Amino acid sequence: MSSAVSSNPAAFNSHPEQPRNLLQRCSDALYLQPQLLLLLLLTPPLLWFGSVYIASLLALLWQGLYTFDDFTMLVSHTLTLSNYAQLFEAANFDIILRTLLMALSVSLFSAMLAFPVAYYMARYASGKTKAFFYLAVMLPMWTSYIVKAYAWTLLLAQEGVSNWFIDLLHLTPVLNWLLSLPGIGGNTLSTSNLGRFLVFTYIWLPFMILPIQASLERLPPSLLQASSDLGATPAKTFRHVILPLSVPGIAAGSIFTFSLTLGDYIVPQLVGPPGLFLGSMVYVQQGSIGNMPMAAAFTLVPIVLISVYLAIVKRMGAFDAL
Amino acid sequence: MRSDSQKIPGASPWLKLAAWGGLLFLHFPIVVIAIYAFNTEESAFSFPPKGFTTKWFSVALQRQDVLEAIGLSLQIACFATLIALVLGTLAAAAMYRKSFFGKESITLMLILPIALPGIITGLALLNGFKAVGLEPGMLTIIIGHATFCVVIVYNNVVARFRRTSASLIEASMDLGADGWQTFRYILLPNLGSAMLAGGMLAFALSFDELIVTTFTAGHEKPLPIWLLNQLTRPRDVPVTNVVALLVMLATMIPVSLAYLLTRDGDSVAGSGK
């Protein structure tokens, strides 16, 4: 640890009148040997993670190389690359593309919704209002995922709350028009891609607000004053100073929205049109079909996509804003 | 942080509207759950509700399966939190200051279980348990939860370690305290509230986690899985609503407490999940 004491270890033993018990001697020894202390501290977590998690993860990816016999429904340990090759078949590629598009659009839309909230929190709210905003963002974030998803099935139901409000505001024609659009539409709100998109955006929104708020919080006010002193209008300051400096926060938030959407399989099951998502595909392959090798191969897709995404946002400074 | 001496013009009404609108959006579904929990109708989603009653609360709390699910989830969350507290605090104590070979990889390893989609973590764990012949059940759920809760505790405790200045420890040693006394009377009281906050958040996370749990649960039915199963039972809607509201309230308490415990610091608990 540090110099003052450890440079003179003899100082410890210069009180012969105090009897030293085992506990004291052990703690002194540890303090004087930081390497030993480090080793002792790290061993339990490393053992746990190494044996429980990392080993399982590697074993899973290895399973992707095993062969699944479609007729006997049995897995043999013959190594093959065909599972990974199958990912590029049109049907599977569709699943990947569908999930990827949803993850990207959810990230974009939540950034748009989150920005004003984060901006207001960071720059205008103070004292009690700020604390209120903080808790008001944090509580929905920590609220049970399944309860939030369930709430949306109530909201989007045919006789449910959202239709009642839309009716009240005389917006039914607008909704019908939206639902008639190819790609995002569907028969009802709860079986449309639009509905699924709303649920995803809702569930991950707090994960976007907090990193943006943190990055705006670090923005020095003097910078904004300098900008306006130099003649920039508020709009120009926003466009050329505030927005670029909040990019790391947005990128950091998008890590969560992107990766969480990419791996989800509960929301696609509850809301939206038929057609599998990456997560649902893994679940189906593993559970109902029992094709563990294919399920394992499919888990590689989110891992690769997320790694690529992380590499991109790292360049935008996302890791400094986490 | 902005200093108060600088004059900042008030927010434009549009910004205010968008900010408060965002909050409203975040809370609207939660309010809807709360309203439906008091709904008199047995199996309808119609809005607005026809009438209000509290009878579903007593119905739900007399259901054996509900009580069992709550009990199981509480037990799992307690055990998982304890393990996460030990491992997370140890990791934080090792990682907060020194740089050493492999430090970055260890950080990545701690984050991985929540950074990767739950389905990957869940499937990997299930696979691993099968490989060593461990039957999925309460024990495997606890192991899984503990694994992804470690990082929550770690984040809170490591932030506190960084704020506890090294000179405090040196001063204690210079004044003649031994290593144990310094740990007991200087370090531990400083870490206490951060550990408590981290523990609360880990508890809340474990209590709610669904995706990893579906893979590691076997035949056990902790609360989130019970709720997921309920969604396919339209006749049980009133009970589901009540339990959903209770689950929500149950997580709000530890999360709010964790916030209160750490809000004076520069990094607030719960700002990352």
Q: Summarize pLDDT for A151-181 with one digit per residue, the tens.
A: 998 888 877 788 888 888 888 888 888 888 8
* B123 CB burial (10 A radius; 0-12, 13-18, 19+): buried
Q: Are residues A231 and A153 in the same domain?
A: yes
Instruction: Note whether residue A158 is domain-resident.
Output: yes
Q: Are residues A6 and A153 in the same domain?
A: no
Q: How confident is residue B265, by pLDDT bands cut at 50, 70 and 90?
A: low
Residues 162-181 of B with CB under 8 A from A: 166, 169-170, 173-174, 176, 178-180
- Looking at per-residue pLDDT, the higher value among A73 and A283 belongs to A283
SS3 for A235-290 is: HHHHHHHHHHHHHHHHHHHHHHHHHHHHHCCCHHHHCCCCCCCHHHHHHHHHHHHC
Instruction: Tell me the CA distances in angstroms from A111 to A208, A212, A268, one per residue in order.
Output: 6, 9, 21
The residue length of chain A stands at 322
How many domains in chain A? 2
Is residue B80 pLDDT above 90, yes or no? yes
pLDDT at B43: 65
Closest Cβ opposite residue A138 in set B10, B47, B270: B270
Domain that holds residue A210: 87-321
Question: Looking at CA atoms only, how far is residue A116 from chain B in angstroms?
Answer: 5
Instruction: Note whether residue A146 is domain-resident.
Output: yes
CB contact under 8 A, A148 and B29: yes
Question: How far apart (Å, rounded) are the C-alpha atoms in residues A104 and A115?
Answer: 17
State whether residue B246 sits within 8 Å of chain A by CB: no
| Average pLDDT for A62-83 | 81
Instruction: Note whether residue A109 is domain-resident.
Output: yes
Closest Cβ opposite residue A143 in set B116, B173, B248: B248
- Please provide the average confidence, as pLDDT, over all residues in chain A: 84
Report percent pLDDT > 90 for chain B.
28
The phi-psi region of residue A71 (left if phi > 0; otherwise alpha if psi is between -120 and 50; otherwise beta) is alpha
pLDDT digits (tens, 9 = 90+) for A188-210: 888 888 999 999 999 999 999 98
Q: Are residues A13 and A119 in the same domain?
A: no
| Average pLDDT for A102-113 | 95
Domain boundaries defined on chain B:
12-53, 58-262
pLDDT at A131: 87
Residues 57-96 of B with CB under 8 A from A: 86-88, 90-91, 93-94
pLDDT digits (tens, 9 = 90+) for B93-103: 888 776 778 78
pLDDT at A39: 85
Look up the CATH architecture of domain B58-262.
Answer: Orthogonal Bundle (1.10)
Instruction: Note whether residue A52 is domain-resident.
Output: no
pLDDT at B272: 57
Instruction: Note whether residue A25 is domain-resident.
Output: yes
Q: How confident is residue B175, by pLDDT bands cut at 50, 70 and 90?
A: confident
Instruction: Note whether residue A131 is domain-resident.
Output: yes
Task: Choose among A37, A26, A212, A213: nearest CA to A122.
Answer: A213
What are the E-state strand segments in A79-169? Answer: none
Q: Are residues A10 and A123 in the same domain?
A: no
- The CATH number assigned to the domain holding A211 equals 1.10.3720.10
* B22 CB burial (10 A radius; 0-12, 13-18, 19+): buried
Residues of A in contact with B122 (CB under 8 A): none
Report percent pLDDT > 70 for chain B.
90
Instruction: Tell me the CA distances in angstroms from A22 to A25, A28, A41, B125, B234, one per residue in order.
Output: 5, 10, 19, 41, 64
pLDDT digits (tens, 9 = 90+) for B177-207: 877 788 888 888 888 888 988 899 899 889 9
Closest Cβ opposite residue B118 in set A48, A146, A263: A263
Q: Are residues A180 and A312 in the same domain?
A: yes
Q: Are residues A14 and A145 in the same domain?
A: no
